[in-house]
């Protein structure tokens, strides 16, 4: 399946960093943002305003700040998978630890997905969850399934109530479309990207179409200041 890229304004900075690497992106695969409504308004200055929007605290039962042991328990409980289904790896460049698991179906008809839980360099606590659908996660995955998964998730996040000044979507990139991105009041972020092969539309000169090859969903704790190893400025 192909989808025509939208005509959109240039990528705006400030909501999320502009590259997957800046988001500490490790491919993995999920659905249902752990986005809870903010508390009710009150007369106190400490209470979040009504338009604060949802909070991005992690993915399902895995909250930012959890340890590897806690996340392992969440994986086993939520997905009903044995300990042997979880593989531990490391990012040798960013010096982060990663727990990976393949989940048969995160929502009906979505196909198998890879989910990666990433733990900070200094804190050793959960800083990001990446969810990834492709033929690598499921040999039976098709462009149609990827498109449908992306549309379902885009509709879900669009209905969560993120303020317009902290959310956007349908942004064309060099390799696909940012279907949705948003940040909360704590600067935690969610990013949904449909990527694949770009080609000129033979039926519509001047337009480009995308044949989806992967769908990536990322939940990141303060991606503007990721807890990863970085050489100090001026070290060399």
Q: Does residue 49 contact residue 133 with C-beta atoms inside 8 Å? A: no
Query: How far apart are the C-alpha atoms of 154 and 168, rounded to whole Å?
Result: 11
Query: How far apart are the C-alpha atoms of 134 and 196, rounded to whole Å?
Result: 10
- The answer for 234, left when phi > 0, alpha when psi is -120 to 50, beta otherwise, is left
**Residues 6+ away with beta carbon under 8 Å from 55:** 35, 36, 38, 184, 185, 186, 188
For the chain, report the end-to-end CA distance as a whole number of angstroms: 48
pLDDT per residue as tens digits for the range 115-143: 999 999 999 999 999 999 999 999 999 99
Query: How far apart are the C-alpha atoms of 219 and 181, rounded to whole Å?
Result: 10
Query: How far apart are the C-alpha atoms of 148 and 194, rounded to whole Å?
Result: 11
* pLDDT reading at 15 higher than 60: no
What pLDDT sits at residue 221?
Answer: 98
Domains of the chain, residue spans: 3-10+25-33+54-220
Strand partners, 11: none
Higher pLDDT, 207 or 44: 207
26 SS3 class: coil
Query: How far apart are the C-alpha atoms of 7 and 47, rounded to whole Å?
Result: 39
- Whole-Å CA distances, 225 to 16, 24, 28, 187: 11, 10, 21, 10
Q: What letter does residue 79 receive in the DSSP assignment?
A: H
| Alpha helix stretches (DSSP H) within the chain | 68-79, 143-158
Query: How far apart are the C-alpha atoms of 192 and 215, rounded to whole Å?
Result: 7
Q: Does residue 38 contact residue 146 with C-beta atoms inside 8 Å? A: no
Q: Does residue 181 contact residue 204 with C-beta atoms inside 8 Å? A: no
103 SS3 class: strand
Mean pLDDT for all residues in the chain: 83
pLDDT per residue as tens digits for the range 64-105: 999 999 999 999 999 999 999 999 999 999 999 999 999 999
What pLDDT sits at residue 203?
Answer: 81
């Amino acid at each position: 399946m192909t989808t025509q890229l939208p005509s959109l304004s240039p990528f705006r900075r400030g909501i999320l960093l502009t590259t997957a690497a800046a988001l500490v992106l490790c491919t993995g695969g999920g659905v249902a943002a752990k986005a809870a409504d903010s508390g009710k308004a009150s007369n106190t200055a400490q209470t979040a305003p009504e338009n604060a929007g949802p909070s991005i605290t992690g993915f399902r039962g895995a909250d930012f700040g959890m340890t590897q042991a806690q996340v392992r328990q969440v994986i086993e409980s939520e997905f009903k998978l044995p300990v042997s289904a979880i593989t531990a790896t490391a990012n040798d460049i960013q010096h982060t630890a990663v727990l990976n698991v393949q989940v048969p179906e995160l929502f009906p008809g979505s196909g198998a997905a890879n989910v990666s839980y990433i733990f900070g360099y200094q804190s050793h606590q959960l800083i990001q969850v990446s969810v990834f659908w492709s033929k690598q996660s499921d040999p039976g995955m098709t462009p149609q399934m990827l498109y449908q998964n992306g549309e379902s998730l885009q509709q879900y996040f669009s209905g969560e109530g993120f303020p317009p000044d902290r959310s956007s979507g349908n942004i064309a990139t060099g390799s696909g479309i940012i279907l949705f991105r948003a940040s909360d009041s704590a600067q935690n972020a969610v990013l949904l990207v449909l990527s694949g092969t770009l080609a000129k539309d033979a039926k519509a000169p001047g337009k480009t179409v995308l044949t989806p090859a992967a769908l990536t969903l990322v939940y990141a704790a303060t991606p503007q200041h990721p807890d990863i190893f970085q050489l100090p400025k001026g070290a060399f």
